[in-house]
Structure 1
Amino acid sequence: MLVLLPPSETKAPGGDGAPLDLAALSTPELTPVRTELAEALVKLAGDVPAARTALGLSPAQDAEIERNAVLFDSPTMPALERYTGVLYDALDVRSLTRAQRARADRRLAVGSALFGLVRGADAIPAYRLSAGAALPGRPTLRAVWRPALGPVLAAVDDLVVDLRSGSYAALAPAPGAVTVDVLSERPDGTRAVVSHFNKAHKGRVARLLATTTGEPGDVVRLRALLRRAGLHVEHDGGTKLTLVVPADAVTR
């Protein structure tokens, strides 16, 4: 099973790993594109006004540009510890047992605008590049990544659960992947799409899938696994699951 997660704009600072070694990251066939983008990001950091425009940053966020400037010299840490925010708080990898963490590192991967795809244990520095960024004089990140990342995802033989947000899923599709929508249900039975806290619920799903000893091979077995864990999951056919949460649980 492969669970695809979105990255986060916020990153944990620091780290105690050696500087970035692109050749050491998993999925080495992505190295040429990673190298091209990383070098472009470092070069862009030398022109702060241009970097602000390209990355959608304000002057108050110039520290993000400084991070990019030292991309190849900064300390690294495992990807699952580098990314922060609502989803990763719910995933909470630091609380996992050794065996659970090994499964998480094996099953979880993060879709990244800079690296394309990183596994949980891949050592990466802090950086700033979102899927919607427009690097000067270069094609869109979607145009850059789709020819390289698309075949990688298409070649995955295991069940793929795609929890990426729309902009990252657009970088390259994962054919046949199971997707999960999150809806809140009010006491009167009406439902609404969960926006911000969608990330928290997907983080909990990711934690469950990362730690379970089960290995579902299709969407029906995946639904059964989630239901056994106490989640209200609906499946109307196809590869989409709907996670329904009580309205009063949306903010928890």
Structure 2
Amino acid sequence: MLVLLPPSEGKTAPVAGDAVDLAALTSPELTEHRERVLDALAEVSARPDALDVLHVGASLAEEVRRGATVREQRAAPAAHVYTGVLYAAAGLASAHDDATSAGTNGAAADVAERLRTRLDDVRVVSALWGVVTPSDLIPAYRLSMGVDLPGVGPLARSWREPLAKALDARAEGDVVVDCRSATYAAAWKPPTSAAHVPVTVLREHAGKRTVVSHHAKHTRGVLVGHLLRREGEPPTTPEDLLDAARELVGTTVDRRRIVAAELVPGRRAGTATLELVVVDAP
């Protein structure tokens, strides 16, 4: 199982810790491109037109200014830095803490070991880092994959070759559970040797099903949290993933109840989409 997440737009700046150590991050083969993007972000963040270049509003000016010194900012586990809806629903921060704080004996240790293994199966696709795991130590930053970054170019396009080198071999022969938005999906396409399964969320009302957006993040997060914590072997095929997702049927999340989980054939031969169907709960 390889789980792909988008970064959260909102990030919590660490109040303690050392600066980021690029050599210690997952996928060290990305270091050269990370250096390039970091340098470009620092330069742009200090410019008077930084807000326009980075496509953010005036309310985020302080976050943008921090980008000029992002290499010196304090770093913490990505599970604590990313704090959006999906991450809260997945309980990624608590999963990381449980994985690192348990002793070496007993049931708690077994749970911690399972969480450590499963967290290693998660990759956050990032405009700044390429990919990180929830345990990688990173600072807060402001940079979207949709930005055309001076000195680098369109970020999604710039990351395609480096990410292919970092992720293709990891994904080969495995199921890729894709919870990314379209902007981040553009940075890496799983190879045909992997079973690529994007996750979509539909709302059922009056007999009709429609795609939802904000609540989709929450429901995807619930799925990710379940995949991290459930007992047994992680999914390795789309059918395994469907079985795991169906364990959530009947669960109420954010005032919506999951009523179905289905695999729908994708546009490309051999691909499928996992559809989670929710209804408004009383």
Q: How many Å apart are 1:25 and its aligned residue?
A: 0.4
- Indicate the residue corresponding to 1:220 in structure 2: 239
Matched, 1:229 2:248: yes
Residue 118 of structure 1 corresponds to 132
- Residue matched to 2:107: none
* 8 Å contact kept, 1:104–1:120: no
Structure-2 residue corresponding to 1:243: 276
Instruction: Find out whether 1:142 has 2:156 as its counterpart.
Output: yes
Describe the SS at the equivalent of 2:153: coil
Q: Which residue is equivalent to 1:36? A: 36
**Conserved 8 A contact 1:153-1:173:** no
Say whether residues 1:72 and 2:91 are aligned partners. Answer: no
Report matched runs for 1:1-252 at 5 Å.
1-47=1-47, 49-96=48-95, 97-98=98-99, 99=112, 101-156=115-170, 157=172, 158-175=174-191, 176-186=195-205, 188-213=206-231, 214-230=233-249, 232-237=260-265, 238-246=271-279, 248-249=280-281
Is residue 40–residue 150 contact of structure 2 (8 Å, CA) maintained in 1? no
Work out the CA distance in 1 between the residues paired with 2:264 and 2:187. 27
Q: Distance in 1 between matches of 2:7 and 2:93?
A: 17
Q: Is the 8 A contact 1:103 1:211 kept in 2?
A: no
CA distance in 2, matches of 1:81, 1:103: 18
Q: Tell me which amino acid in the other structure corresponds to 2:225.
A: R
Distance change in 2, residues 1:41/1:191 (3 Å) = same
**1 or 2, which has the higher strand percentage?**
2
| Cα drift, residue 163 of structure 1 | 0.7
SS of residue paired to 2:199 = strand
Number of residue-to-residue matches in the alignment: 247
CA distance in 1, matches of 2:93, 2:44: 34
- Give me the CA root mean square deviation: 1.7
SS at match of 1:7: coil
What secondary structure is seen at the aligned counterpart in 1 of 2:73? coil
Q: Residue 108 of structure 2 aligns with which residue?
A: none
> Aligned letter for 2:229?
T
Q: Which runs of 5+ in 2 are unaligned?
A: 100-111, 250-257, 266-270
TM-score (structure 1 length as normaliser): 0.92
After TM superposition, give the deviation of residue 57 of structure 1 in Å: 2.0
